[in-house]
Amino acid sequence: MSTSTNPAVQAILSGKAPRPALVAAASGMLPLAQDELLEVLVALRESTDADIAAAASESLAEQTAADLLNAAKDANTSTAVLNYLGTSAAPHGIHEAVILNKSTPDEAIIQLATTSVDGSLLELITQNQQRLVRAPKIIDAILQNTARTAEAERRARETQTEFFEKERGAKQIAGELRARGKTAAAEFFESAELVTLEGELSLEDAWLIAEHIEVSDAELDDSWLPAERYDEVEDPAVLAAAMQKVIEFETLEAGSPIAPERVSLIRRLMLMNARDRMKLARKGDREARSILIRDSNKMVAAAVINNPRITEQEAENIATMRTVADEVLRLMAMNRSFARSYTIIHNLVRNPRTPIPTVINILPRIRTKDLQNLAQNRNVSDAIRRQSNRIAQARSTE
């Protein structure tokens, strides 16, 4: 792409300039800025007129290394010139500048990765992971280049594994699920990261998780999601501890050790990364929801109560839990659907985990008899007991 607005340069590049002007330009005789001169010479070296092409090539060969290096570093240099500099037999410093220039076309980097015998340049290419992902042929070129260093090979293979082999695995799973009519599960794996605390998600684990996905993308409402990123980086030790707490809570509630299959499912779900757990919380079935509602990541737990398949009975049970984040209970109180259920709001005010300001806002909707009981409930805070008593007494005097 040309960056020049010079009418003379535009005429030459478009082929509209007369031959004498082309000859003069190819010979470097036109009064052009250095960047414009390079752009014209690079274009004219491809001319069908042999004399003009030869003159342009000769003029290019006469350019100083300093001028070529400046062009290689300049982000405003035309892509044609950067492509030429990247594919020509230029000195190391010029090739290095071309690699670092964000405006350099991927095709030039592919060519450089294919032909370079300088291992340090191949290492430099692999440092730009974004470009490797955008143009995977660069990875192939590096891995096939016998001049590659061990470091260049390592980086290229890591990127290949992280961004392409995992992606293929997810797509294969999604394709098979679609063939089986499991659209919701297929949608999940089409964008799943397939990474867990223990490494890559195994195919066996992926298929088990797929059995617990029931909500399609069409059913999801994203209006509740915050504007900020929610795929926070988690400490593996904290995540492992949270998983163990879920197992302990369920064991305590059951009054006996829970089934090995349940423990296995908890491990599979809780060890996924935050983004995939949040997606599963929004799309999972009742069994998945019952695990992820206790997630230590508040956004994951909040996603459960925004799952369109969650039932009123589930919400009633969640409102009584003392093992969920207080933020989840606060959001439940703000949910219009849940707030219409007296059982849910009654459970929320009796739950000592519910934030006090949230309970205070709900109390006027609580029946007088229940307020009187709440005023005597030693499991809630003094502030809530006092406010419950005030409201109940005020009603008795009306």
Distance of alpha carbon 328 from alpha carbon 330, whole angstroms? 5
H or E segment at 199? strand 199-200
Nearest to 45 by CA among 86, 79, 5, 13: 13
Mean pLDDT, rounded, of the chain:
87
pLDDT in tens, 170-209: 777 788 888 888 999 889 888 777 777 676 777 778 888 9
Q: Where are the domains of the chain?
A: 7-160, 189-220+232-310, 323-398
What confidence category does residue 349 fall into, taking pLDDT thresholds of 50, 70 and 90?
very high
174: tokens are 């999604």
pLDDT value for 273: 86
pLDDT of residue 5: 75
Tokens 């305590």 belong to: 252
Instruction: Note the pLDDT of residue 194.
Output: 73
pLDDT exceeds 70 at position 59: yes
> What pLDDT, on the 0 to 100 scale, is given for residue 284?
95
Give me the amino acid identity at 383: A
Q: pTM of this prediction?
A: 0.57
The tokens 């570093």 sit on which residue? 73
pLDDT of residue 222: 79
Which residues touch 196 (CB under 8 Å, ≥6 apart)? 205, 268, 271, 272, 273
Nearest CA among 385, 367, 368, 384 for reference residue 376: 385
For the ranges 80-89, 92-101, 284-293, the lowest mean pLDDT is seen at 80-89
Give the pLDDT confidence score for residue 47 in this predicted structure: 87
Sequence-ordered list of residues with C-beta below 8 angstroms from that of 69, at least 6 positions apart, any chain: 93, 94, 97
